Amino acid sequence: MNRMTLPATPFDGQRPGTSGLRKKVQVFQQPGYLEQFVQALFDVVGDARGKTLVLGGDGRYYNRVAIQTILRMAAAHGYARVLVGQDGIVSTPAMSAIIRRRGASGGIVLSASHNPGGAQGDFGIKYNVANGGPAPEAFTEAVYARTRELRQIHTIDSADLPLHALGTYRLLDTTVDIIDPVADYAAVQRGLFDFDAIRALFARGFRLRLDTMWAVGGPYAKALLEDELGAPPGTVVHAEPREDFGGLHPDPNPVNASELIAFMQSADAVDMAAATDGDADRNMIVGRNFVVSPSDSLAVLAAHATRIPGYARGLAGVARSMPTSTAVDRVARALGITCFETPTGWKFFGNLLDAGKVTLCGEESYGTGSDHIREKDGLWAVLFWLNLIAVTGESVESLVRGLWRAHGRCVYSRHDYEGIATERAEALMRELRAALPGLPGTHLAGEPVAIADDFAYTDPTDGSVTQHQGVRIILQSGSRVVLRLSGTGTEGATLRVYLERHEPDPARHDLPVQQALAPLAALAEQVARIRHWTGMEAPSVMT
């Protein structure tokens, strides 16, 4: 077992996006591609003597191969200890929990989150820092800069380690521990929720179906819900992690989880359903014939948080990403706390959480979380809803309708235009930005435009500024259209168009969402010329 230094040639395009570096599996399989990025990452991390690294992923194709490569490089880099999830499995929220509980210096998550898996699918790598959260932009930019100049890769010549059994191994001076990936995560959840109340809920016959979409959330959900909380066997479906997610798209929304939605509209529907995504950090909550929007879910949790043991002290504040609906803003005003509006990307919540400025946070893309870790957490959200139902006696639908009665309904939808040629998507945004100065005061969708800008964020904790985070067109009534390019895809560009209209009249709360938002969709087409630039007559997906 010896150290080796190998020559390296830089690859183009290794700049991490909002959630790390994501590419097609075939890209990562190029000789030296993964090694180049990992070496750049380790070079930016610096001296690893005496430090602990956590390593694992969502079980998708190429996960195990990548883990063996990274283990050899971590040993060559001089880490004192590497903690690896059994079978290479560590969900993204569990990664954050393990880093924080074990005092690790950081962790590498191997996941492309909600992107498709399999040999023809996507793969990704992301670094989380010592607080358990995603690396900040300064770090990821430094990694990218290093990838462009790197000429050597450091590794060792050793056999693969067995990942299937718990145990301890040595790679040179590095101790490698294969650990239970669920234990630390479960301990954190026990400290937040009233598990006795949830057990009693299931004992009374409450029925849940949680679809973990053949992804990493399955082992966590079965261990907590079925083994510990008494949910009947079979409550968790599609529970075994598969390299290709069973051919499914592991994104928990009404389009990709259509089987679950159909089930909840049937005569056999259970009391509550939910779904988690590829790396278990996203969630969708569903009642009987009633789908909860992620924005409303965050607002409901905020409104009732003090009913939950871990949040009985009250909320320091809340935060949402800019495109997320303003439902939680209205709850925050009623509670007398601050609601922060951040760019998209969980890393922007990290400083607010570390500074104690917020307790709950969330994004419209089915991600919700709190200060218990520094990632969004899908199963945590399910447990939060179960705890609320247990202590209030209300259903999923009644909790959401209570929110609407108290604060009005924020009617909301996201339209995705996928696979656009990158240059055309960028041209659309350039033209739109150029038009912004002339929009305020004009009439669109039947009312004056109050604000038209390109969202910029100044972090209230460190003063850092993040610009060009999405175009906002806000009407006098508060209705909004937001347009931005997503950074989570691996082919072409995705234009996301977010539509929001506040409806205070309870008699209009049940209008079909797309009908209620049609004037705003027309406004988006008018100002951005979406059909012209994308060549598409309709969105690829509407959620």
Catalytic residues: 113
The most distant pair of C-alpha atoms in the chain lies apart, rounded to whole Å, by 73
- Cβ burial of 349 (10 Å; 0-12, 13-18, 19+) is buried
**282 forms bridges with which residues in the sheet?**
367
CB-based burial, 512-526: b 16+ in 10 Å, e otherwise: ebeebbebbbebbee
Helix (H, G, I), strand (E, B) or coil at 497: strand
Phi, psi angles (nearest 5°) of residue 163: -100, -5
Q: For residues 287 and 395, is the Cβ–Cβ distance under 8 A?
A: yes
**168 forms bridges with which residues in the sheet?**
177
Q: For residues 416 and 496, is the Cβ–Cβ distance under 8 A?
A: yes
The tokens describing 328, both together, are: 């939680």
Q: Where are the alpha helices (DSSP H) in 235-369?
A: 258-264, 294-304, 327-335, 347-354
The DSSP bridge pattern shows strands 81-89 and 52-57 to be: parallel
- In whole angstroms, give the CA distance from residue 277 to residue 468: 28
DSSP letter, residue 306: G
3-state secondary structure string across 406-469 = HHCEEEEEEEEEEEECHHHHHHHHHHHHHHHHHCCCCEECCEEEEEEEECCEECCCCCCEECCC
Phi, psi angles (nearest 5°) of residue 62: 85, -5
Q: For residues 387 and 302, is the Cβ–Cβ distance under 8 A?
A: no
Helices 378-392 and 183-190 cross at an angle (nearest 10°) of 30
At 531, which helix (H) or strand (E)? helix 530-534
- In whole angstroms, give the CA distance from residue 410 to residue 293: 10
- In whole angstroms, give the CA distance from residue 389 to residue 270: 14
